Amino acid sequence: MRTTIPFLIALLVPLAGLCGARADEVEGDEKTEPRVLSVDDRFALRRVEEPRVSPDGVWVAFTVESMDLKKDDSETRVWMVPVAGGEAVIMTAGGSSAGEPRWSPDGRYLSFLSDRAKDTNQVFVLDRRGGEARQLTDVKQGVEAHEWSPDGKRLVLVIEDPDPDAPRSDVKETSDDKEVPKPWVIDRLQIKNDDEGYLDRRRDHLYRFSVQF
């Protein structure tokens, strides 16, 4: 916790200008009187999370979550800022969420989870020197979390058991063959969790993944 606090302060300084600029736009004046917060103010706030310091101690990668009132949805993007202070740089494109930034041991690559390719999270990797992100994994049920090995040659992935009731990709449905949702079978005392819905018997497992560039 002691090492995280200074880096969070370093992140908030450059981002303060972003929130301040938005607040000025709402009011239309740089100097405003105190007032009650509005819905627009709430949606102008951004949540900064997951700070990760690069191995050389020069950069901090982090995520910024913003909300869209019209779409009634949120979007998370990966940013990067110098530890010594300076302008924050957006690392991932808009239109899809990205999170869980992780540095490779040599500091050259920045990996993250994103659902930009499909509805499930996959591992993508960026070269810090520039270029487009590359998709590394293609797991049907998606990747829950990931970390680099010390030598940078492998990743450890957290993957949940596949859903046995999920539609098969190799089976084509006809217009007359509409899928009917199966009923939930309740066989446990705790049946639901917030943000998860109904609970089942699937479990998370660790997988080793070889990284090839």
Q: 154-160 and 204-210 as β-strands: parallel, antiparallel, unpaired?
A: antiparallel
Per-residue confidence (pLDDT) for residue 166, from 0 to 100: 67
84-115 tens-digit pLDDT: 989 999 998 888 899 999 999 999 999 999 99
Burial class (CB in 10 A: 0-12, 13-18, 19+), 60: buried
Tell me the average pLDDT across 27-33: 61
Indicate whether 11 pLDDT > 70. no
Q: How far is CA 85 from the centre of its chain?
A: 23
Count of CA atoms in the C-beta half-sphere (13 A) of 148: 24
- Three-state SS string over 35-54 comes to CCCCHHHHHHCCEEEEEEEC
Between CA 117 and CA 96 the distance in angstroms is: 9
Tokens of 125: 């990797």
pLDDT of residue 167: 60
Angle, vertex CA 4, rays to CA 121 and CA 10, nearest 5: 95
Across the chain, mean pLDDT equals: 81
Whether 73 has a pLDDT exceeding 90, the answer reads no
Higher pLDDT pick, 165 / 10: 165
| The pLDDT of residue 2 | 46
pLDDT of 190 strictly over 70 = yes
Taking 80 as the threshold, does the pLDDT of residue 13 lie above it?
no
Q: What confidence category does residue 132 fall into, taking pLDDT thresholds of 50, 70 and 90?
A: confident
- Examine the pLDDT at 125 and tell me if it is beyond 80: yes
Element (H, E) at 7: helix 4-27
pLDDT of res. 72 = 75
Lowest mean pLDDT among 26-30, 106-110, 190-194, 209-213: 26-30
- Lowest-pLDDT choice from 130-134, 139-143, 171-175: 171-175
Of 9-18, 52-61, 153-162, which gets the smallest average pLDDT? 9-18
Mean pLDDT confidence for 115-131: 87
Q: What is the pTM of this model?
A: 0.72
